[in-house]
Structure 1
Amino acid sequence: MESFRIGVDIGGTFTDIVFLGDKGTVLIKKVASTPQDYSNSVIQGISEGIKELNINSSDITEINHGFTVATNAILEGKGERIALITTKGFRDVLEIARLRTPRLYDLYYQKPTPIVERRLRFEIDERVNFKGEILKDLDYNSLKLITKNIQSEKIQSVAICLLHSYANSKHELEISNFLKSHIPNINLSVSSEILPEMREYERTSTTVINAYIRPVVKDYLENLNNQLANLGFKVPLTIMQSNGGLSPVNLAIEKPIFCIESGPAAGVVGAFHLGNHIGTENFMTFDMGGTTAKASIIENGEMLLAPEYEVGGGMSAGHRLLKGSGYMLRVPSIDIAEVSSGGGSIAWIDKAEALQIGPQSSGADPGPACYDKGGNNPTVTDANVILGYLNPKNLLGGNFLINSSKAQKIISENISAPLGISEIESAWGIHILVNSNMGRALRAVSSERGRDPRKFTLVAFGGGGPIHATGIAESLGITKILIPPSPGVFSAFGLLFANVEYHLVKTYFNPLSNLKLKEANGVLDKLISQGKELLISEGFNSLQQEIIIQLDMKYIGQTSELTIRMPDQSFTIESINKIQEIYMNEHDKTFGYRVDEPMQLVNIRIIARGISSESRVPDKINSSNKINQSKNDNKRKVYFGQNIGWINTNIVDRLFLNKKPHKGPIIIEEYDSTTIVPPNWNASLDSMNNIILEKTN
């Protein structure tokens, strides 16, 4: 009997579920997301897949999950009402923040409202210095009063963040133990456990967000776990982290802060492992879903991680570059730029009679007008139907009927009539404008970081990625595109390709030139031991472990640092010389210059990665999902812009490309996505069934 692994990725519009069998069988399920309770769509899709494959729950060996519950709680302000306990004199750290503004001359800029009400930010008399020395003992009388106030306010989630607790966590742990003994079932987020790093604002903000989303994530994951158990599943649920590694569900419940970007991370992880499998090192990823589009970089075979980012600020592009717009999270995350442009993004006319796209989205319900579920706003998907890019009758292999005349009517009334232009001009305008918006995300991770996008292969996935890939690639000068198998659910595949990872960090603030080698190696060895013990607890022996060491560094006098990979497994005089050279090269790549000045070591990081004994990426992916297509549907008229106009275009499936490369224009229809191959592009299939698009002269 064939055993299966399941990957589940929840998006704003659809929930994607992939069944991957150990004998190569693949089944894809794409069901409408259920925002009122996302677990409903997960259980629906898994149940349908089990029935369709005619297997039992005992045949499932793994369930990996990426979700948006934490993100939605922040964006919608639906987290738990929380309290903060902090050192006397520091209750307003969240208000003061870093005095950054995302746009220098924005006269209407408003700081994000702190998640904790000021009256629920409690100060306690205690003090520890940066060396970890206790200057003032914890005042238990203050703690008793704070505990009574928390009880009277019926607070069930508390963040504890004291000054310099990264150097000595004694007082934080005393507060934690006291609260646990006096308030049963209280949720506690302790900064020395969440983020043992210097910088009180980043540590406080990160700990507070963890406390804010923890009850919501806990309820969701425990509910989903219980439903899976009721269906007879014995395997534990595993969660994708923002850093691209998998973690046990109990860690995701305790520290949901590490899983906020789990959905977007999964697609990049999929591209990373796919690149390793086919021997390509430089990718730019483009993931277009129903609500947003995301971009990231894989350079020299490595995913780029950002040590911090912001959420909930409403920024439309490059949110890791524009600081001050949202809530600061100091957790490692795959470096992703995101724009509010997706298939469901709404097109509208502003007061200056100019066409705009988003950030509002039609979402899963009611969805685009062509879904015929009550949507009355023109969307990107409606425009793509009018242009002939999408099947005018149905999607999802014939299982999802659409109403193309409704799309025409809505765009005509809302865009064409006000602007005095035709439906085709309106639809083409929507298409090229959303391409321009999404191109900003790709520029944010490439040219704005000193990287030439023309040197990268674009990997396009998500339901809308393959439709818009060539238009965006041309605007960036990219000449090669890779469309992976089942691109519409590729993030769910990424969940199945990922490895278990633990990311550990410890502040070690010392000048590199005067580094005490024995002391520094002691800190490093302790982190490595912790990482190895965690991997052993997950069943990975010493031969299945990979330890990656990273250093946060800066020039002395700078206020921010860069993260580099340590070339050796310990600090030696020789390795310090290598570290200096690596840092100067990274500084030059990021900021455009390098100087031979004294450097400061700030944090030591390790990534403890569990490596499976067998490859988690299959040699070839063949979906069992079929498309119900009649002979009369093998051609349709497709619009390729004002210079080319309409062309009667062949409609084919992916395997049609097996015989030989084909010149555009062609449309490649699949169960979960559609790939547009315009004139002046060629399409072929590689050994893994990836579609390769190449620009011709």
Structure 2
Amino acid sequence: MTSPSLRIGVDVGGTFTDFVLVDEAKSRVLTGKRLTTPDDPGRAILDGITRLLGEAGATIDDVRQVVHGTTLVTNTVIERKGARIGLITTKGFRDNLEMGREMRYDLYDLALEKPEPLVPRPRRHAVTERLSAQGDILRPLDEAEVRAAAQALKAQQVEAVAVCLLHSYLDPSHERRIGAMLAEELPGVPVTLSSDVAPEIREYERANTACVNAYVLPLMDRYLAKLEEELHRRGLRGPLHLMLSAGGTATVRYARSNPVQLIESGPAAGATAAMHVGAACGLSEMISFDMGGTTAKMCLIEGGEAEHSSTFEAARVKRFRKGSGLPLKVPVIDLIEIGAGGGSIAAVNAMGLLTVGPESAGSVPGPVCYGRGGRRPTVTDADLLLGYLSPDYFLGGEMGLDREAVESAVRDDLAGPLGMSVDQVAAGIHAVVNENMAAATRMYIAEKGRDPRRYALLAFGGAGPVHAYGLAKLLKLRRIVVPAGAGVASALGFLVAAPAIDLVRSGVRRLSSVDWAEVAKHYAEMEAESRTLLVETGAAEGDVAFRRSADMRYVGQGFDIAVPLPDTLTPESVEAAFLDAYERLFDRRIEGLPIEVLSWRLAASASRPTVPATLGASIEGAAKKGERDIWFPQTGRKPCAVYDRYRMQPGVTLRGPAVVEERESTTVIGPDCDFGLDAHGNLVIDIDAADAA
């Protein structure tokens, strides 16, 4: 029996489920796209894999690995459709989830809305126990109170329990004893210990992380178990792996017990794919732009790598307001996500102004043009009216788009109230969503002290190439790169991601009083644990690399910064590393002040899998398919060339205006652009310098 040579990446988004198949034996890549099935996401996954294997002339026996990422975790938290959970905490800290940081994300909003805790107060139970800030036991655990709390939770019919005790990141013994007692008192009810999912300082964030994990755990456990079982029942011999929010892959076993780690798995895959494409075409300074049906994600990539963060905020009450959501201690790729996608709904607000998003039509009912029951015009509908999308070649011709229904909906809902023509409204929708994305990107990059003009825009996602030109013009960028298979690039990201895991140990210490033997012990433990987890994903034991960092600050500061650590840890080397990191961020270096360490972090990873840099060879034949009327701000509506991307030849330079069509996406190219394919099949668009300035 031959060894399986196929690997499949599956990205479940809010509107579409994307697929990429890599045939390692034949060095070829196939792609696919299906509408997401929100009632049962596994149905679209299984149907899409079956179809993709049919196109490849293969069977599921030939598949060596399936890597999956999903928005199910974040959607469950946003929509508040998770499990009925309870919380056990230290006496005196029952209301921690409501008090939060006691900070207002909007100082001037007198009716400020705060995120509702996932655990209502009656299901939060406090028990007697107490650790000091140094980890010493001040009060022993009262086990009788724990058993009483367990019986109360049983009476409240909880489906999962979170446990978060004060300072348990220093000594998890009390939490582990509570976990053991809950297993006795509530058999079959899953328990999440904060010292397992987020063993680090800051009680509010740690409690939220434990609660979110418990909240989604029953749902994700059932979903992943069912999906894995069905894939193996159909003949999959290889493993199912999951993409984590920090860009690494992990086993189903790990994901089922730590589903909070999947909260940003889809966006992380997009950034990972961008790094892969950038490395292949020699771009190291990029803005990764991933626009799908529901959201747009922007990620700054410098030196070929995306930045990482140890915190993430979920389910914001005000989508664009930092501090209005549930703060989590979860390692993630540092990116921004806004409610701007092909399904974003356009409306006229109370002031008579055109607005776009963040509400989305999703896949059900979807945009008006899908003909699936949608009645409210969306960004995709506007793009169809402007000529950017072909009504006959959407998804390669598999899905026809109803232009007449869109014209009627836009005329009735928007053009009439606004006193504008249908074309003017469509152009307005396109412009508004582009400006929303540009404003968010400017703020994101400005916070990092960077100038967006020094970067290229790498655009992907089903709607990304449609809007990349307009976004690049607003950001004054000169170059756009659209990879082959751009519409499903996030799914490609799953297949180029390395097995990876992030671990942490916390304990606030002044640098001058750090016990370096204890630090060495922490790192030895984390290295052993991470190596075991990565070997379980298929990594070779000798192929695991480690990267150390620490969360540090000047004594007296309220917040910390991430500091990459040198190989040899001494007070002098760690202080120098902190001063260098501080200077990079704030352009100042303050020597002679006391410094403290909050957490020691370890990022472990294995080698990235190899995927062909060129996704298929060009097909012989004329690349120009014809012309259609397309609207641009500079020209209005006029006939423009339409090209078949699969027939374009590398090295041939063409001039806009034009659109380039492929099965999963369409690239819009303005009249002030030169464009063509590079040696790897990436579509490279250069905007005239005078127009980009």
Question: Which bin holds the TM-score, normalised by the shorter protein?
Answer: over 0.9
1:46 to 9, 26, 49: 49
Distance in 1 between residues matched to 2:318 and 2:450, nearest whole Å: 22
> TM-score, normalised to structure 2's length?
0.95
Which residue number corresponds to residue 191 of structure 2? 188
Which residue number corresponds to residue 596 of structure 2? 600
State the 1:530 CA deviation: 2.5
Q: Which amino acid aligns with 2:13?
A: G
State the 1:236 CA deviation: 1.6
Does 2:114 align with 1:118?
no
State the 1:631 CA deviation: 10
Give aligned pairs, total.
Answer: 684
State the 1:524 CA deviation: 2.5
- Contact conserved, 2:340 with 2:358, CA < 8 A, in 1? yes
Distance in 2 between residues matched to 1:72 and 1:666, nearest whole Å: 37
State the 1:82 CA deviation: 0.5
Distance in 2 between residues matched to 1:273 and 1:675, nearest whole Å: 20
Q: Secondary structure at the match of 2:494?
A: helix
Deviations 1:132-175 (A, max 9, x none): 21111111111121121122222120001111111111111111
Distance in 2 between residues matched to 1:623 and 1:198, nearest whole Å: 52
Matches within 5 A, 1:335-374: 335-374=334-373
Matches within 5 A, 1:250-649: 250-317=253-320, 322-323=322-323, 325-566=324-565, 568-588=566-586, 593-596=588-591, 597-612=593-608, 615-622=609-616, 634-641=626-633, 643-649=634-640
Residues 553, 53 of structure 1: alpha-carbon distance in 2 compared, 3 angstrom cutoff:
same
Which residue number corresponds to residue 213 of structure 1? 216
State the 1:244 CA deviation: 0.6
State the 1:251 CA deviation: 0.8
1:3 to 5, 11, 20: 5
State the 1:311 CA deviation: 0.9
Residues 128, 328 of structure 1: alpha-carbon distance in 2 compared, 3 angstrom cutoff:
same
Q: Secondary structure at the match of 2:31?
A: strand
- Contact conserved, 1:520 with 1:571, CA < 8 A, in 2? no
Distance in 2 between residues matched to 1:631 and 1:577, nearest whole Å: 59
Q: Secondary structure at the match of 2:299?
A: strand
Distance in 2 between residues matched to 1:418 and 1:334, nearest whole Å: 42
1:673 to 651, 662, 665: 665
State the 1:585 CA deviation: 2.1
State the 1:686 CA deviation: 1.5
- Contact conserved, 1:521 with 1:570, CA < 8 A, in 2? no
The farther-off stretch of 524-533 and 135-144 is 524-533
State the 1:657 CA deviation: 4.7
Q: Secondary structure at the match of 1:400?
A: coil
Q: Secondary structure at the match of 1:446?
A: helix
Distance in 2 between residues matched to 1:180 and 1:174, nearest whole Å: 10
Q: Which amino acid aligns with 1:121?
A: R
Distance in 1 between residues matched to 2:536 and 2:319, nearest whole Å: 41
Distance in 2 between residues matched to 1:586 and 1:125, nearest whole Å: 45
Matches within 5 A, 1:116-265: 116-265=119-268
State the 1:556 CA deviation: 1.1
Residues 458, 630 of structure 1: alpha-carbon distance in 2 compared, 3 angstrom cutoff:
closer
Taking only aligned residues, the RMSD between alpha carbons, in angstroms, comes to: 2.0
Q: Secondary structure at the match of 1:135?
A: strand
State the 1:659 CA deviation: 4.3
Residues 363, 486 of structure 1: alpha-carbon distance in 2 compared, 3 angstrom cutoff:
same
Q: Secondary structure at the match of 1:445?
A: helix
- Contact conserved, 1:28 with 1:623, CA < 8 A, in 2? no
Q: Which amino acid aligns with 1:603?
A: S
Residues 529, 582 of structure 1: alpha-carbon distance in 2 compared, 3 angstrom cutoff:
farther
Distance in 1 between residues matched to 2:657 and 2:638, nearest whole Å: 8
- Contact conserved, 2:244 with 2:262, CA < 8 A, in 1? yes
Distance in 2 between residues matched to 1:452 and 1:635, nearest whole Å: 37
Q: Which amino acid aligns with 2:678?
A: D
Which residue number corresponds to residue 85 of structure 2? 82
The farther-off stretch of 80-89 and 106-115 is 106-115
State the 1:594 CA deviation: 4.1
- Contact conserved, 1:294 with 1:441, CA < 8 A, in 2? no
State the 1:373 CA deviation: 1.9
Distance in 2 between residues matched to 1:193 and 1:282, nearest whole Å: 36
Q: Which amino acid aligns with 2:15?
A: T
The farther-off stretch of 303-312 and 243-252 is 303-312
State the 1:586 CA deviation: 3.4
Q: Secondary structure at the match of 2:269?
A: helix
Q: Secondary structure at the match of 2:145?
A: helix
Q: Which amino acid aligns with 2:170?
A: A
Q: Which amino acid aligns with 2:151?
A: K
Distance in 1 between residues matched to 2:305 and 2:511, nearest whole Å: 26
Deviations 1:51-71 (A, max 9, x none): 232212110011000101111
Q: Secondary structure at the match of 2:648?
A: helix
Deviations 1:91-141 (A, max 9, x none): 000010012222221222111111111111111111111222111111111
Structure 1 unaligned spans of 5+: none
State the 1:368 CA deviation: 1.1
Distance in 1 between residues matched to 2:440 and 2:248, nearest whole Å: 23
Deviations 1:350-398 (A, max 9, x none): 1211100012211102211111222111111111111111113330111
Residues 561, 640 of structure 1: alpha-carbon distance in 2 compared, 3 angstrom cutoff:
same
Distance in 1 between residues matched to 2:474 and 2:519, nearest whole Å: 48
State the 1:527 CA deviation: 2.1
Q: Secondary structure at the match of 2:224?
A: helix
The farther-off stretch of 520-529 and 418-427 is 520-529
State the 1:515 CA deviation: 3.3
State the 1:185 CA deviation: 1.2
Residues 165, 410 of structure 1: alpha-carbon distance in 2 compared, 3 angstrom cutoff:
same
Deviations 1:578-625 (A, max 9, x none): 31332222331xxx544333221111100110115xx5231211289x
State the 1:523 CA deviation: 2.4
Structure 2 unaligned spans of 5+: none
Aligned sequence identity (%)? 37
Q: Which amino acid aligns with 1:329?
A: L
State the 1:334 CA deviation: 0.9
Distance in 1 between residues matched to 2:259 and 2:627, nearest whole Å: 48
Distance in 1 between residues matched to 2:379 and 2:186, nearest whole Å: 51
Residues 417, 650 of structure 1: alpha-carbon distance in 2 compared, 3 angstrom cutoff:
same
Distance in 1 between residues matched to 2:229 and 2:283, nearest whole Å: 41
Distance in 2 between residues matched to 1:422 and 1:632, nearest whole Å: 31
State the 1:254 CA deviation: 0.3
- Contact conserved, 1:67 with 1:262, CA < 8 A, in 2? yes
Distance in 1 between residues matched to 2:360 and 2:162, nearest whole Å: 33
Distance in 2 between residues matched to 1:264 and 1:416, nearest whole Å: 35
1:25 to 18, 23, 28: 28
State the 1:509 CA deviation: 1.6
Residues 631, 545 of structure 1: alpha-carbon distance in 2 compared, 3 angstrom cutoff:
closer
- Contact conserved, 2:114 with 2:317, CA < 8 A, in 1? no
Residues 453, 362 of structure 1: alpha-carbon distance in 2 compared, 3 angstrom cutoff:
same
Does 2:94 align with 1:98?
no
Distance in 1 between residues matched to 2:539 and 2:625, nearest whole Å: 51
